[in-house]
Amino acid sequence: MQNTTKPTELSVGSGSINAPAKTVSESGRRRRSSCKKGTGKAVCADTIGSDIQKKPSVPDGTAVISGTKRKSFPAKCTAYIDTEFNAFDYYGQNGGHQEILQVGAVIISNLEVIDGFSSFCRLRPGHVLSKRAEKLTGISAKDLKTAPSFPEVLEELNSFFAGYSPVSVFAYGNEDRLQLLNTAALYGIKKDGLKYINRIEDNMKQLRALLRIKKRSNLSLSVGDLCDICGIKASHMHDAYNDALNLGKCSELIRRSAFEPEQVDRVLEKKVWMSNYRMARRIKECRDGVILDDSDLKPMKALIDNLKEDGYYPDYLLQAIFDDLLMITGRTPGDI
């Protein structure tokens, strides 16, 4: 399937920005190409500023490195990185190691995403992909089977960063850095191979301060929440490249105060609604023997849909209530 770019104007703050809405492969994920190190095709540039010319989209097949063929490099640029890891189904799974499954990064200079990196990482022999990670990320065992090992990916990632020498390397929170270090330790990778990992900075506190919510709320904000605040349509979530891309775009806009303060309040209100609801629900305390079949659930869904149309309660809260009802009856969200 050919990828295309379509300019989309987003209203942000007091002005507007143009950004190409990028379409990825049918699976919604960027796959690592079979190119040899240093010869891969660069991931297409995404434009954040309206004065930046749009560049071609990624060719079908997705993924890669690198910036090694660029004739000129930006004098100042910033990198954003994200990872997906093999989250436990139960404590101690895979010998207690939650290996990195995918690494994604973007390079941004002067409001332009100029290059990107994305690669799956093959699991160690004997380790299996957890059901939790597969469900959350959409990554399959087949995706990982032919992927390079983590040490190979880390070597390519270091080469990618070295080509730009970014001023800063940011991740959202400290979890990505810790998981990268833990996986590196699993493979016995020494200090020399951790140059850029050790430089990763936690971007979360800085962005919260810029959004002026540091003292107002202890609620955590996801990258999706940042996209809502900045008026950006989030790309496929829980994909390392797309999450790095979303984080990079939002971070650059927030640092320039290119967002509506009222939208911060709306997002926080949504978080409060959901937090209060989750604290109040008691799914595990439901009595055994309560059986609801489809004839009971369909009218309840109709009621929820009517309440959504009424507009008094937030749609996401009503949907969460119905999804919990489905889980109580042994179903999964979307079954009805």
Enter the pTM of the model.
0.68
pLDDT of residue 329: 73
Q: Which residues contact 12 (CB under 8 A, 6 or more apart)?
A: 230, 231, 253, 258, 259, 260
pLDDT at 2 over 70: no
CA–CA distance from 192 to each of 125, 188, 196 (Å)?
25, 11, 10
pLDDT of residue 158: 96
Map residue 16 onto helix, strand or coil.
strand
Query: Which pLDDT tens digit goes with each residue over 169-183?
Result: 999 999 999 999 999
Q: Which residues contact 280 (CB under 8 A, 6 or more apart)?
A: none
pLDDT of residue 140: 94
Query: Which pLDDT tens digit goes with each residue over 137-190?
Result: 999 999 999 999 999 999 999 999 999 999 999 999 999 999 999 999 999 999
Spatial distance between the Cα atoms of 5 and 21, rounded to a whole number of angstroms: 6
Query: Which pLDDT tens digit goes with each residue over 240-293?
Result: 999 999 999 999 999 999 999 999 988 888 887 777 766 666 555 544 545 667
- Classify residue 195 by its DSSP letter: T
